[in-house]
């Protein structure tokens, strides 16, 4: 497969192979490119974790990230996304990582030959976030079968919820959703809605979502404190989690809104482990993308559509 745009494109075997390779990188496996190879990170939306961990991952593989800043690029002169990526391809960049506010921005890029790795498209998908979440769950439980994952919060606007619910279901996990009525997503068939207290009581993984303020102006008539009390993981609710259950959050965390600030680094929390795993998952994804591109070029499929 040329690009990594959504996890639904990947077979379960492909997903498990990426997780296996990411685990090997976590244990110190070395793999480096044998000649100068350029990659570029195109972020049309703010990011700390995804952008920086793709850069760290690239450097660990011996890749050379080309600095690209949307604000000082010819995007500001009206250059299209297609022409921007086509230009990078022409000057020798061998893979691009893109975050963009538009759902399915990548539909206009299908004919690009170099691999495109989706780092988040609007409310659509965030495949590498899902992969690092899967790695974190696998590290703790050793399996996805019969693991119950409660995804809690702003489900409707969350690309993390969309990516995770689909792949977790395919891997044999049970997905529960809990959300204010206004932020339910009736288009996502991969979870069952339950009330918050049931979700927290039944879950092996309590996955909280950030409220996507920048993606919608929808107010639900609650103060931050009221949201925390009604829909957040309070210290009291956390005390009712199952004995072995863990807390995930893609971050950045709105402290004392989605979850109590004191829980961010509590014993159950894997939030900073998720970030660490993000580097290894992105190393595995970049390696796979470059190897696939190399094979296509050697086989004369360079202009494969």
Q: How far is the CB of 208 from ligand CP (least distance, A)?
A: 12
Cα 284 from Cα 269, distance rounded (Å):
24
Cα 286 from Cα 95, distance rounded (Å):
8
Cα 89 from Cα 77, distance rounded (Å):
19
288 is in an annotated binding site: no
CA angle, corner 128, sides to 123 and 134, nearest 5?
Answer: 105
Residue closer to ligand CP (CB basis): 18 or 37? 18
50 is in an annotated binding site: yes
Cα 66 from Cα 86, distance rounded (Å):
15
Binding residues for ligand CP, rule: CB under 6 A, are 47-51, 129, 250-252
Q: How far is the CB of 79 from ligand CP (least distance, A)?
A: 24
Residue closer to ligand CP (CB basis): 6 or 174? 6
Residue 175 near residue 168 (C-beta atoms within 8 A): yes
Identify which of 10, 2, 4 has the alpha carbon closest to the alpha carbon of residue 167: 10
250 is in an annotated binding site: no
Q: How far is the CB of 207 from ligand CP (least distance, A)?
A: 12
3 is in an annotated binding site: no
Q: How far is the CB of 252 from ligand CP (least distance, A)?
A: 6
Q: How far is the CB of 129 from ligand CP (least distance, A)?
A: 5
Bridge pairing between strands 148-152 and 93-100: unpaired
49 is in an annotated binding site: yes
Residue closer to ligand CP (CB basis): 115 or 250? 250
φ and ψ of 4, to 5 deg: -115, 100
77 is in an annotated binding site: yes
Cα 272 from Cα 249, distance rounded (Å):
9
Residue closer to ligand CP (CB basis): 37 or 53? 53
φ and ψ of 179, to 5 deg: -165, 155
Residue closer to ligand CP (CB basis): 47 or 64? 47
The binding site for carbamoyl phosphate comprises 49-50, 99, 126, 129, 251-252
The binding site for L-aspartate comprises 77, 159, 210
The binding site comprises 49-50, 77, 99, 126, 129, 159, 210, 251-252
């Amino acid at each position: 497969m040329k690009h990594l745009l959504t996890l639904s494109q990947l077979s379960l075997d492909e997903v498990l192979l990426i997780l296996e390779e990411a685990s090997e990188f976590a244990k110190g496996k070395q793999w480096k490119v044998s000649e100068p190879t350029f990659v570029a990170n195109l972020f049309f939306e703010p990011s700390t974790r995804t952008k920086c961990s793709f850069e760290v991952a690239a450097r660990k593989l011996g890749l050379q990230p080309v600095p690209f800043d949307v604000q000082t690029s010819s995007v500001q002169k009206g250059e299209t996304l297609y022409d921007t990526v086509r230009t990078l391809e022409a000057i020798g960049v061998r893979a691009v990582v893109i975050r963009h506010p538009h759902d399915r921005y990548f539909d206009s890029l299908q004919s690009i030959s170099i691999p495109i790795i989706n780092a988040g498209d609007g409310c659509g998908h965030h495949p590498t976030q899902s992969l690092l979440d899967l790695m974190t769950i696998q590290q703790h439980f050793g399996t996805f079968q019969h693991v119950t994952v409660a995804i809690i919060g702003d489900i409707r606007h969350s690309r993390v919820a969309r990516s995770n619910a689909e792949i977790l279901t395919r891997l044999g996990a049970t997905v529960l959703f809990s959300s204010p009525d206004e932020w339910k997503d009736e288009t996502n068939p991969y979870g069952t809605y339950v009330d918050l207290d049931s979700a927290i009581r039944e879950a092996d993984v309590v996955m909280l979502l950030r409220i996507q303020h920048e993606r919608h102006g929808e107010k639900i008539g609650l103060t931050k404190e009221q949201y925390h009390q009604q829909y957040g993981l309070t210290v009291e609710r956390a005390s009712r989690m199952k004995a072995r259950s863990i807390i995930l959050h893609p971050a950045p965390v709105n402290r004392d809104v989605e979850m109590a600030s004191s829980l961010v680094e509590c014993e159950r929390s894997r939030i900073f482990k998720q970030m660490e795993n993000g580097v290894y998952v992105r190393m595995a994804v970049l390696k796979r993308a470059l190897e696939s591109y190399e094979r296509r070029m050697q086989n004369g499929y360079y202009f494969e559509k």
